[in-house]
Structure 1
């Protein structure tokens, strides 16, 4: 027994390795010999390699070996390698039913038992028609439109999760062929997976992302609105678009350019240049306020560039892994002298490479630093050709496409993310259509070239169910439903591309609606950004599928057109039929209250695009209206309370652009509400922590949505005067309160509602 793992020799000569990586998670590998080379995702630092030591015990009897941590245990049959996974109480979580197969060079397979009421979730963006996956058969292979981002992480309502640590093309049969069995298999590769024990879905997601990385926190402005110009736009037209947003009073932070910005359309090389006519940049003044990028910045915009890539990023991945590329070879002529070659014809000595695009000693991101230095703040990674198959390609690290294809989007986006962060010291905004396990660490995603309807919604929900928080899609601006859904996502994007999706061209009905939703989103940014902070710490996504938010509601699995946005907002899209889970719910548009569980047909106002409900007990912070993030100081923010029982909210704030929040440079404000009888008690805690640019003193504009007019309102025991210090209008109590000068005392608000 090794201090980090246990190798179990099996009857047929194979070796099964059990490695507890923490108290709840075990890595299981099987080989025909006892050598276990590191898997690609671990080697390239996508999957975590280093873990603190774990205390475990190993018990062996005649038939089995059991490895136990105190929180979970794995029992292995020495005869055939089958495993049984149990929790700390000894309850079976997962049982293997057939001898696992992993003969060298011929793929792998493992089959497990499904219990009668078991449910299965996960697998990422491989399916756009269901959330609960039992009965489904999944092909895990990155493919344009059909399967942009498969994630080989599966979990169950029985308290287990399984992450399959492979990049090879593989499959999950989840009770499709045999209703009481589920199976994973591949024609190539070796059996390597992590077993995770957890008491609920949130805990399983948190522990899975301990392995593959937590979702990144985007720059604060990235949670505003992104607008991508028509691909034929030039610098003047791009600036006209920016000015139109400001003239119309529509908040927006990021302007994107499609491939028309390049001198060569769809330039895959590392020799890109601005289009000399559309985006002329004087050679003597490439940077500074006089450029079109500088003009955008003065208007409060950031600039994003569209990219395509067919570059071999494995050379840089190998370099970063501290290993020479397995492809070997020399970049120049041979230094060996051959006496018979008296002519020394160098054309016959130099190696010839099929890949004429990649510069083996130049990392992909290096050529982009020139654009970043000019002020570019974001990059859109198109599907071309990160999601294309390369059937006859041998990659620089020695892999063929069967092994690398799934990993390519993650490697590419990792190098984009790391390159930008290292070059600038700022958080990257890289957004990609393709992905695989670990993509949540490096890039936001959008649902590719599939529009902004119900299927992209399911895609985003499945992303969240697999640990990826920053998912979006192209907003359908031509329907009220598309606008409604498009603004109530983790991040929002309007992509004109080859079309004219400019908001000011939407007409008299849709333009006011677009403005309303854009302003609503910007008011909700502190709520959304706090949810993004929670995701970055725990992997609980910003938008939450109903099975994740309400796992005990028997209808949750079928609710593919509604979701929770953070803890307190329920959004339905492309339907008026809404299922309200247990609790009290308030229609955001009308204020009408409903008691769940209930199935209702929501009444949607003519100037809105879909249902939006508030969970009673909600605490929702709001910003003042602004055209872009950072336009106005945030020394005063709003807090909306919907008292019901006990509730709380954690408001996270930081500088919005750097990575200092990772080192604790942030402020956390704990806010709570309690409603008992005719008394409402609210506490706004002191801001704990600091960050650069933090307001020295904070004021709060309080709105308490109450059942009646108060007879008394006090703040820290001091009774306030009605009409002067607080007001009551149409069911809402409003008042403004200030932190004390030292910011060291909580604010306690008490309201007595007149009977």
Structure 2
């Protein structure tokens, strides 16, 4: 990796590390003493692969330039210490000053008059653009669960501040011509990313800090979390009621009441003997409540709190020795003929919870063996500062506090996967730089209303995909959002939030949305796979896809779910970006850009629209994933003027084999001409264990108001009895297509 150091007369030593043609790490220190952070040490900022970009150099100390094919970085002692221009010579970043003192480091960048910034994660829920505001990044309970010191500029750059300390950004609030930040680390250390779009900047950011891993397919089904007062009978009864009511559901979760000691953060936790008695002579079934849940198709989640010192395991994983109390005990007996007093022969630790030689996940294996498939990692102690704690890796809490959620998420995922050979889930409300690579999240103790959407859209702007809230079950508007998120969760907590006790009207809405979600899982799963490849989130605020349209900049109640579905929540008026959009409920077409009134059926709670060019696969309603083969797929298609394509993705749904290429894709394309619409379903490419041998497709094609003249499949004209036309919805429906088909609909 190309690295240069130059001494600046007024600011000390400048160090530039070029990770990529479009990514440079900038460090500045008065004495030229550069250190790494916990993000570097533990691999949350990834080292570059290969030798790095070719570099051309000119000048030297005092003033000079280093250039890649995509950017030129110049330095000097003038008005700007550092300037970064793109390949066309356009200025992107101007570092005006950088100072380091006892209180921390302060960096000031020049700001263009019309420049604005997105990012920073969940540290505000009231806006997406931050000009004129302060962004305070520090993990806190409720107010800022996932603050991320990464932002993207409308001027075509992104900044990743390499720190785990509290960092506070001033986004042209104090000075309209400047952006600044104060980093408690007392070091100037940040990465600059150069790209023309937010999409490309997220690609660079997630390359630097990690792509998300594809979770198991069943995680995209509905989750239900029982009351914390529940016992084994109530948990099983809740599961039975989901099946009886025909409400698809894949997860049953238990809150802290599952433990003998509520909120037990020790290694000795156990099932409550009163509420969840498991006979000691058959700990792993087959007749325990966990086995009963599994036989009904449910996956079990257990609530968890953790204040364990995870830094010992983090050090082990990078090859560093871990202190052993047993070694210290042996070393204490240095005089062979002395009396051995066992009472005073081992170290006495202030941290009585942690066993340095034992990874945190180790004590959870027995619960996994009994049927738990993931753990809800509550904010609990990880959102709290530990001002007097010295961690096992030598860090103070100032450096460890924001790093802790990353260590926690990764160790849970890797521990589960090493133990089971199946894909792991870390389900947590907390995060920092790089959390998107390891964690799925919920919005903590903030409910299921509008504010939670602001939190999730802001985390999407830092590359996060797997998110949900605590669904508000008594409002149809909240159901609309809760069921149409990347993940969907009903959390009863201390209350009675079961769908069947909300009254018949709401029960029907729950059933409708749960069944719709079950049908949409093939679509969600395919775009989830794309998120793991590109870093573009599964849920996206409109401004991420339409950054040039200023009307979408502050929209907090609409979002894209995958590429082709727009969800409109809470309001009867919506912004429609450029293009045409078809109402999922009625088939009516709305043209953008513009603001339009919207409505929805009585059993629904918001708007849902297909984007022009949409290809949305919908599967059969399953009460749980794997209930039946995925051998029938209906494609919802909204042809646009430009060709569109979709990769239908499938794998075994649970194992790690997909990471080694055990998956299959089917390319589907849609082309519109003056003569009509052609939809091509290609050959399936790839294979995996348990793959459905064949599949039948059907089509529901929108925006076809007139009765087609002909419909052909693979060159053969279909009789009129083999397809239908719905003039009210302006749709053509074609059923029972073969596994590979070319369908032509002639106007």
TM-score norm. by structure 2 comes to 0.96
Contact 2:297–2:627 (CA under 8 A) maintained in structure 1: yes
Cα-Cα RMSD = 2.1
Contact 2:389–2:396 (CA under 8 A) maintained in structure 1: yes
Contact 1:13–1:33 (CA under 8 A) maintained in structure 2: no
1:563 matched to 2:559? The reply is yes
> What is the alpha-carbon distance in structure 2 between the residues aligned to residue 120 and residue 596 of structure 1?
25
Higher alpha-carbon deviation: 353-362 or 182-191: 182-191
Alignment deviations for residues 212-246 of structure 1 (CA, whole Å, 9 cap, x no partner): 10122111100110100000111111000000000
> What is the alpha-carbon distance in structure 1 between the residues aligned to residue 259 and residue 582 of structure 2?
49
Partner of 1:701: 698
Alignment deviations for residues 293-318 of structure 1 (CA, whole Å, 9 cap, x no partner): 11111100000000000101011111
1:83 matched to 2:82? The reply is yes
1:46 shift after superposition: 1.5
1:556 shift after superposition: 1.1
- The 5-angstrom pairing of residues 533-612 of structure 1 reads 533-612=529-608
1:427 matched to 2:426? The reply is no
1:333 shift after superposition: 3.7
Partner of 2:404: 408
Partner of 1:674: 671
1:157 matched to 2:154? The reply is yes
1:348 shift after superposition: 5.3
Contact 1:16–1:81 (CA under 8 A) maintained in structure 2: no
Higher alpha-carbon deviation: 54-63 or 119-128: 54-63
Partner of 1:335: 331
SS at 1:688 equivalent? strand
> What is the alpha-carbon distance in structure 2 between the residues aligned to residue 338 and residue 675 of structure 1?
85
SS at 1:297 equivalent? helix
> What is the alpha-carbon distance in structure 2 between the residues aligned to residue 712 and residue 296 of structure 1?
50
1:11 shift after superposition: 2.3
Partner of 1:487: 483
Partner of 1:219: 216
Contact 1:58–1:67 (CA under 8 A) maintained in structure 2: yes
> What is the alpha-carbon distance in structure 2 between the residues aligned to residue 508 and residue 72 of structure 1?
61
> What is the alpha-carbon distance in structure 1 between the residues aligned to residue 79 and residue 598 of structure 2?
57
> What is the alpha-carbon distance in structure 2 between the residues aligned to residue 136 and residue 334 of structure 1?
58
Contact 2:559–2:567 (CA under 8 A) maintained in structure 1: yes
> What is the alpha-carbon distance in structure 1 between the residues aligned to residue 299 and residue 338 of structure 2?
60
> What is the alpha-carbon distance in structure 2 between the residues aligned to residue 660 and residue 249 of structure 1?
32
Higher alpha-carbon deviation: 27-36 or 205-214: 27-36
Alignment deviations for residues 525-583 of structure 1 (CA, whole Å, 9 cap, x no partner): 11111111111111111111011021111211121111111112111111111011111
Partner of 1:145: 142
1:440 shift after superposition: 1.1
Pick one of 656, 660, 666 that aligns with 2:653. Answer: 656
Partner of 2:196: 199
Partner of 2:42: 44
Pick one of 518, 525, 531 that aligns with 2:527. Answer: 531
Contact 1:11–1:79 (CA under 8 A) maintained in structure 2: no
- The 5-angstrom pairing of residues 392-471 of structure 1 reads 392-471=388-467
> What is the alpha-carbon distance in structure 2 between the residues aligned to residue 639 and residue 59 of structure 1?
57
The alpha-carbon distance between structure 1 residues 546 and 729, as it changes in their structure 2 partners (threshold 3 A), is: closer
Alignment deviations for residues 413-468 of structure 1 (CA, whole Å, 9 cap, x no partner): 11101101111111112210111111111110000001011111010000100011
Partner of 2:256: 259
Higher alpha-carbon deviation: 165-174 or 583-592: 583-592
SS at 2:218 equivalent? helix
Partner of 2:501: 505
Partner of 2:746: 752
SS at 1:371 equivalent? helix
> What is the alpha-carbon distance in structure 1 between the residues aligned to residue 247 and residue 514 of structure 2?
7
Pick one of 89, 107, 111 that aligns with 1:110. Answer: 107
SS at 1:279 equivalent? coil
1:354 matched to 2:350? The reply is yes
1:283 matched to 2:280? The reply is yes
> What is the alpha-carbon distance in structure 2 between the residues aligned to residue 13 and residue 449 of structure 1?
45
Contact 2:167–2:182 (CA under 8 A) maintained in structure 1: yes
> What is the alpha-carbon distance in structure 1 between the residues aligned to residue 455 and residue 486 of structure 2?
13
> What is the alpha-carbon distance in structure 1 between the residues aligned to residue 143 and residue 661 of structure 2?
40
1:733 matched to 2:729? The reply is no
> What is the alpha-carbon distance in structure 2 between the residues aligned to residue 728 and residue 585 of structure 1?
20
The alpha-carbon distance between structure 1 residues 617 and 187, as it changes in their structure 2 partners (threshold 3 A), is: closer
> What is the alpha-carbon distance in structure 1 between the residues aligned to residue 152 and residue 598 of structure 2?
33
Contact 2:9–2:62 (CA under 8 A) maintained in structure 1: no
Higher alpha-carbon deviation: 374-383 or 10-19: 10-19
Higher alpha-carbon deviation: 302-311 or 185-194: 185-194
The alpha-carbon distance between structure 1 residues 342 and 750, as it changes in their structure 2 partners (threshold 3 A), is: closer
Pick one of 252, 274, 291 that aligns with 2:271. Answer: 274
> What is the alpha-carbon distance in structure 2 between the residues aligned to residue 197 and residue 329 of structure 1?
49
Higher alpha-carbon deviation: 282-291 or 540-549: 282-291
SS at 2:517 equivalent? helix
Pick one of 471, 490, 510 that aligns with 1:514. Answer: 510
1:399 shift after superposition: 1.1
Alignment deviations for residues 249-288 of structure 1 (CA, whole Å, 9 cap, x no partner): 0000000000111111110101111111211112121113
> What is the alpha-carbon distance in structure 2 between the residues aligned to residue 561 and residue 13 of structure 1?
45
> What is the alpha-carbon distance in structure 2 between the residues aligned to residue 275 and residue 596 of structure 1?
57
Contact 1:168–1:189 (CA under 8 A) maintained in structure 2: no
SS at 2:529 equivalent? helix
Higher alpha-carbon deviation: 620-629 or 89-98: 89-98
The alpha-carbon distance between structure 1 residues 336 and 385, as it changes in their structure 2 partners (threshold 3 A), is: closer
The alpha-carbon distance between structure 1 residues 377 and 106, as it changes in their structure 2 partners (threshold 3 A), is: same
Alignment deviations for residues 61-113 of structure 1 (CA, whole Å, 9 cap, x no partner): 57423221211122122689821111112211111122x1135x652111101
The alpha-carbon distance between structure 1 residues 331 and 501, as it changes in their structure 2 partners (threshold 3 A), is: farther
Contact 1:250–1:515 (CA under 8 A) maintained in structure 2: yes
The alpha-carbon distance between structure 1 residues 17 and 602, as it changes in their structure 2 partners (threshold 3 A), is: same
Higher alpha-carbon deviation: 367-376 or 697-706: 697-706
Contact 2:149–2:167 (CA under 8 A) maintained in structure 1: no
Higher alpha-carbon deviation: 438-447 or 72-81: 72-81
Pick one of 281, 293, 303 that aligns with 1:306. Answer: 303
Aligned pair count? Answer: 742
1:344 shift after superposition: 6.5
SS at 2:108 equivalent? strand
1:185 shift after superposition: 1.1
Give unmatched runs, 5+ long, in structure 2. none
Partner of 1:380: 376
> What is the alpha-carbon distance in structure 2 between the residues aligned to residue 663 and residue 698 of structure 1?
24
1:57 shift after superposition: 2.1
1:694 shift after superposition: 1.5
1:166 shift after superposition: 0.4
